[in-house]
Chain A
C-alpha cells in the first residue's frame, strides 16, 4: 500500500487509529494559483523517470503485498484509469515524437509491468471502470479463484495524479476548493488523490498463516442512467450492494461497518445515502468515507478501501469520516466522526464511478472455510455477432475477402453512425460510436427480444480522440480551458456506459484494456463473471485510429501504410439448449520469461487427435510489433500440433489495430455459420468445415486461445 498516509500498511494502521486530513495543495505539477486545490498526494518521488508514476506506485505496493513469498501469482488483475498519462502529458506538451517515450502509456501496461516483475505466467488483466476499477478487479479475482482457474491472484488498483483528471474534474465543477467534506451539509465536491494498493488473494485448502481477512463476496451493477451523474435514488448502488451481500451469503444485519464511496459531491453522497437507507432501513451500522482524508484515488480507491476494511477487521478500529464537520441531516446518515474501537467481523465497501458503474465488496474475519467449487455452468453460445472493418460490416468484409482482397482501412464516421440517432451521437466521437453501432448490430443479429444484462468492453487504447482533444485545448489555452464533454468521453469505459444507457443494460459493466489482448481479457472476464443461464450479454472490442496518437502509442500501426481500425461484438448467453456455436476462452499466458508457453498451450488444447478432430481452421493474430516473435510462436505451435489445415494470418486481412481479434472472432462466427472458409484463404478451393470448429490464437507478448465450435 502506498497512499497519502504514507508507504506501507503500518502507516495506514497509524492513520486509522489517529485519523486526520492528509490532503494538501497540489505540488506534483505546477498549476496557476486559481487552479490550486488540495489533493491527496503521495509523498514519494521516484528516480527512474522513464517508468511512469502509476507503475512505480503499483510496484511499491506490490513489493509489500508479495514480501515473504517466492511463488509467482497465477494472475495479476489491476484497476487503472489512466496508466502512464502523467508522463504522456509531459511528452505531448513537449511534442516528443519517439514512440519509445510512450512505451508505458497504456493503462494496461501497469498490470503487464507488475506481471513481468513477479514472473506471472498467467493473464494480466486491467480493469478500467473509472472510479470503481479497484473493487471490480478484486471481484474478478475472487471469481477466478472460486472457479479454480487460479489459486493466487495479485489484485489491486492504482492511479497517479495527472493533468487530464485534475483539470477534467475541475471542468465538471466537482472539486471542493476547501477539500472534500463527505456527508457534510456544506460539502461542495471531492478532492482528487493518488495511491496504489495490492492484495495477494489466495485460495488454498489450508488458510495461509499470514492471511488477514477473507473476501466473502462482491456485486456489480450499472445505473444505465447517465454518463457521469449517479442515479438520483441510488438504484444501481443498491443493486450492487444487494448482489455483494447475496454473493457473500450474509444478510445486511451481519455488517459491522460500511466503508462508503462517499466522494463528497452533493449528488454522490445523496444517492449513496438513499441506497443505504433502502437496504438497511433505520438499522445502519457505523459508516465512514476516507475520501476527506486521502482524496479520491479513482482506480486505486476501491483497492485502498479494501485494505482499510481489512485493517478495520484485523485491528478492531473503524476509521473516521475525515472532513465532515456537520453531518447533512438530509442524508440521514451518522458518520463515524473520530476513530472508533469496535469489534468488526464483516465490512461492506462501496465504489461507484462514471458510466454508472457500481461495485460493492464484502470482506470478513477469517473462518478458514475451504473454497467451495462452483457448480459446472453451461457453455457460452454465440447468439449474434457484428463487426466493423475498413470496408464495412462482417458481410461486406467477407465479400472482400472472398474476392481475394483485404479489409484494411477506416470506415467513414457517417457509415459507422448510420443507424444511430443524431441526438445520441452529437457528443460522441469515433470510438463510442463504434461501440454503440457494434452493440446494436450484435443484438439485431441475435434477434434479441430481451435487453442484454451485462456489457463487457475491451479496448486497447480507449477513446484517444477525446483524450487528445482535451489535452490540446488545455495546452492551447495555457491550461485555462478544457472540454468537460471530452473529459467524460476520455475514460476508457465511457463507450461501455453509452451502450448500457442505450440498451438499458443494468447488470455488470466491465471495461478491460491491455493493448492487443484487450478483447481476449474482456471475453475471459465475461466468462468468469457471468454465471446466470439464458441471460444474454454483450462482449465488445474496438479501437480507433487517431492520426496523432495511434502511431505514438501502438507500434504495430506504423507497419501498415493503410491506417485501419474497427472492432467486433458478440452477443452471448450460457445455454445447454441453444443450437448456436459455442465459444471458449481456453488459454491466456504471458510469454515473458515463459519459454514453454507454446507447449503449455498445446497441452491445454489436448492431444494431436483432439486438435485434429475439433478444429478445421486456425486464425492467427500476430501484431506487427511482435511479428518475428509471433511467427516463431506460430511455427512452434504448428509443428507441435501437426496442424496442416488452413491457417489464416488475420491481421493481414483486418489491418493493424489492437482490437483486430474482435473482428477475427466475428469473422470466425461467420465462417462457422456458412460452414466453410472462402477459397481465397485456402489455396483455391472453399474449405468445408464439416462440423469442425475454429481456433483463434493471439501471439506476441501474450499468447491467447479462443475456441469456437459449432
Chain B
C-alpha cells in the first residue's frame, strides 16, 4: 500500500496553508470524479482527499485569531492618557454606539 507518493505525503499535506489544502482538496475531488481512473488510482486519490479534508478541518478548528496593534498618534495619546489617568474611562468617546 505504501506507494512512493503516499509515503511522504502526510507531512507535506499538514504543512499546507488552509487555503492551499482546501484548493488541493477540491482539485482531488474533481480529479476523482472526472478522471477515468483504475480502482487503485482512485483509492490513492481518495486517501489523499480524506487526509486533506482532515488537514483542513484541523487547521480551521485549531486556529486562534491573532491581534496586533500598530502605532498611530491617537494610539500613543491614548496610552499616555491611560497611564496618567490609570483606568479613567474614555467616556467622551461615545461615537461607536452602533
A and B form one complex: no
- A residues bordering B, Cβ < 8 Å? none
